Amino acid sequence: MSFLMRRKASKHDKYILKSRLRGHSGGIFGLLATEDGRFLASGVTDGTKVWDLKTMRELASPNSPDIRGASTALVWIKREDDLSEGLFYGTQNGHIGLAVFEELSCVRVVNPAEITGLHTMSLQEVFTLELKNTAPRAIAFGHMYGNERDIMVFGLYGGDIHTLRGSNGKAAGEPWNVGALIGDIALDVRKGVLCMDEPSSGTNLYRLEDHTRVKTFPVAVTKRQRLRQVDFLDECKFIVSGSDHGIVYIFDRRSGEIVDELRVDSHEWVQTVAAADCAGVSTVFAAKSRDLGASNEIFIWRKANKKRFGAAGIACVAKRLPMYNISKRVQLDGARVCGRTTRHSPTSTPPLPTYNVGQW
């Protein structure tokens, strides 16, 4: 019992701090887990690292900063004919690298400039397109409308969103504008929703079908506006957002209410977040995004098992007790808990023993 109480819990006890990954120095700019929750990639001022989420150990460091600069964009890929995972990463000085636990190739694709977004899908045709007056912040692929394979390009400063046909790069209608700076995006094509960070106010949820803003999830700005990462959690039931004051917020997508708060630090920027389903358990990753000039950690929070922690844990133990229609008293490490059942008592009621959690 004392071991469980030492585990750091979230504000509403829905998540438990499972582990901390150590090995980075400087600000952490990107986190991305594989779809199956086996591996985590992290992009930092000191390069790119890959972590095994089962053993919580570093597997590889495919990129050191040297002349390429910090790693600023990450995307996992998997080929149909290969079970191994591949990782694309973009750097501050315009390089894109590919690694499968070792670097396969790295090329400069632009003059010294930061690569801010990467995504991947299987395309039959490759094209090059210039979008005037647009600084792409993020790119997303998928069947946005019907059976068409589309590409959505999100402009950082102007708030423009361009939809392009994946077959030829032609514009699919006029771009739509959200009227604000776009910090980061999370897209769920199956649910038809788009989650977008707006650095000045919080996170906005849009419906893909008609571009309608459905809901706003406010996140206070206590320092100054900076881009925050956002992600969907638990099959799009929740939305995860970072902050500039050390807290990761988890919102209910439908109600807009704050479900829980994960405290990483009291005062630091925690703009870098990601979410995944690891071995069937909803998991949130978070890291400090400011370059502190010192070692930095990745915090891993997992959804708490209700049968083991808190009041639900007491209820689980109580089910093991005999069922009588009288008040019961169960002794739990010195704390007395009383409850009443609904069954009829037998004609002869035996004396009730005092139970201790250690007996189970």
How many domains in the chain?
2
Domain boundary among 268, 288, 303: 303
- Regarding whether 215 and 95 lie in a shared domain, the answer is yes
pTM for this one? Answer: 0.73
Among the three residues 303, 323, 351, which one is the final residue of a domain in this structure? 303
Shared domain check, 272 and 170: yes
pLDDT tens string 296-306: 889 999 999 86
Q: Are residues 272 and 352 in the same domain?
A: no
Residue 189 lies in a domain: yes
Same domain, 152 and 66: yes
The reported pLDDT for the residue numbered 151 is 85
Q: What is the pLDDT of residues 221-233, one digit of tens each?
A: 988 888 899 999 9
> Quick one: pLDDT at residue 84?
67
Residue 139 domain flag: yes
Q: Are residues 89 and 228 in the same domain?
A: yes
Three-point CA angle 261, 43, 294, nearest 5°: 75
Q: Residue holding tokens 């390069």?
A: 47
Last residue of a domain, one of 280, 303, 326: 303
Distance CA 235, CA 197 (A): 19
What phi, psi does 183 have (nearest 5°)? -90, -50
Determine how many CB atoms are found less than 10 A away from the CB of residue 63.
24
Does 99 fall in a domain? yes
Residues 324, 290, single domain; the answer is no
Shared domain check, 208 and 337: no
Residue at 2 is within a domain: no
Work out the mean pLDDT of the chain and round it to a whole number.
75
126 pLDDT more than 80: no
The per-residue pLDDT for range 143-154, each reduced to its tens digit, is: 776 677 788 888
Backbone angles phi, psi at 98, to 5 degrees: -125, 130
Return the amino acid letter for 140.
Answer: A
Q: Is the same domain home to 85 and 192? A: yes
Both 328 and 299 in one domain: the answer is no
Q: Quick check: is 257 in a domain?
A: yes
On the question of pLDDT at 316 being above 90, the answer is: no
**CA 32 to CA 25: how far, in whole Å?**
18
212 with 328, same domain: the answer is no
**Domain extent for 334:** 310-359
Q: What is the mean pLDDT of residues 26-51?
A: 86
Cα separations in angstroms, 201 against 94, 194, 243, 338: 30, 17, 11, 46
User: Can you tell me the distance from the alpha carbon of 296 to that of 270, in angstroms, rounded to the nearest whole number?
Assistant: 12
Examine residue 265 and state whether it is found in any structural domain, yes or no. yes
Decide if 232 is inside a domain: yes
In this predicted structure, the answer to whether residue 63 has a pLDDT above a threshold of 80 is: no
Would residue 64 count as lying in a domain? Answer: yes
Q: What is the mean pLDDT of residues 7-34?
A: 88
Average pLDDT over every residue of 61-68: 64
Buried b (16+ CB within 10 A) or exposed e, 224-241: eebbbbbbbbbeeebbbb
Q: What is the CATH number of the domain that holds 112?
A: 2.130.10.10
DSSP character at residue 133: T
Q: Are residues 327 and 277 in the same domain?
A: no
Considering the domain architecture, whether residues 182 and 249 belong to the same structural domain is answered as yes
